[in-house]
Structure 1
Amino acid sequence: MSKGDIAKQNFMNGYNCSQAVLLAFCEDFGLEKETALKISEPFGGGMGRMREVCGTVTGMFMVIGLAMGNDNSKDNTTKKNVYKSVQELAAKFKEDNGSIICRELLGFQKNNKESYVPSERTNEYYKKRPCPELCKYAADILEEYLKKENLI
């Protein structure tokens, strides 16, 4: 299975979009599943369901941090390379999907009053949302990028 297939399945199993993407890659970088799920949970629904940056995109960025980041605060070379990768992946995602903003991808004008309440996962939910396919897409382009850069 591709990382995209795994990410899509993760989403279909009830994980949010950000969790679905990060979880597809956590084993590659020695990140425990439970930690990955906790770290990425706030980023679902466009950051806490605020419909801002798509959770699949933030999931990709977390994986880039795992693959390329370091813990030396003075190493601007690493930051430069990480930021370059983030910008390349965001541009590719936007080029192919029209946006990296959750509400724009979903066709929403603005949030409702109870935007913090997660939607129930029903057959109707999956029919009207592109989220499973966006999880697949994000993980697939990330996997391709990481292989090209010899990071996995």
Structure 2
Amino acid sequence: MTDHVKKARELFLDGYNCSQAVLGAFCDEIGMDFNTAMKLSSSFGGGMGRMREVCGACSAMFMIAGIIYGYDDSKDDKKKAAHYALVQKLASDFKEQNGTIICRELLKNIKTDMSANPTKRDNEFYKKRPCLKFVEDAASIIEGLLNREKAM
């Protein structure tokens, strides 16, 4: 387990949501202070505000890709296409490991609600919820990308 994956795991176990855990683990790579990263990613936990849409760990993976490899010229269609292809590849890698990037589908056998109230984190939560694995998988996937890019 790499340092970034370990850090993502620690942050999730400390109570940060799935998106915060992944983005926070990569603050050193993205040049963002921890508090800003926590606030930016706070909306994406539980599949975007607990609506069970795109997994927050995936959303953080896409944010990291955007900060490092994203485009800022609205007219650069070539760079846009390359970036969207990268995001699609990251999603595909996550899907290959977990079947989907949709939170409610990832949690299909677990009773969840979409209220705004956070789920209590206790030993039962960690026994029943596979979310820690998704945090680790997303951190590992984005770390693999960064390592491949550094090796080039």
TM-score, scaled relative to structure 2: 0.91
Q: Which amino acid aligns with 1:105?
A: L
User: What residue number does 1:126 align with?
Assistant: 126
Range with bigger deviation, 37-46 or 23-32:
23-32
Runs of 4+ in structure 1 over 3 Å off: 108-112
Deviation at 1:13, TM superposition (A): 0.7
User: What residue number does 1:73 align with?
Assistant: 74
* Counterparts of 1:110 and 1:10, CA distance in 2: 24
Range with bigger deviation, 3-12 or 142-151:
142-151
Deviation at 1:8, TM superposition (A): 1.0
> Aligned-residue CA RMSD in angstroms?
2.0
TM-score, scaled relative to structure 1: 0.91
Report the 3-state secondary structure (helix = DSSP H, G, I; strand = E; otherwise coil) of the residue aligned with 2:100.
coil
Deviation at 1:111, TM superposition (A): 5.9
Q: Which amino acid aligns with 2:145?
A: Y
* Counterparts of 2:124 and 2:110, CA distance in 1: 20
Contact 1:68 1:78 in 2 (8 A): no
User: What residue number does 1:44 align with?
Assistant: 45
1:28-67 equivalences under 5 Å are 28-67=29-68
1:2-151 equivalences under 5 Å are 2-107=3-108, 112=113, 115-150=115-150
- Structure 1 residue runs of 5 or longer lacking an equivalent are none
Identity %: 51
* Counterparts of 1:145 and 1:125, CA distance in 2: 30
* Counterparts of 1:87 and 1:59, CA distance in 2: 14
Q: Which amino acid aligns with 2:5?
A: G
Q: How many residues align?
A: 151
Q: String of CA shifts for 1:99-125, please: whole Å, max 9, x gaps.
A: 11111111158863x621110111111
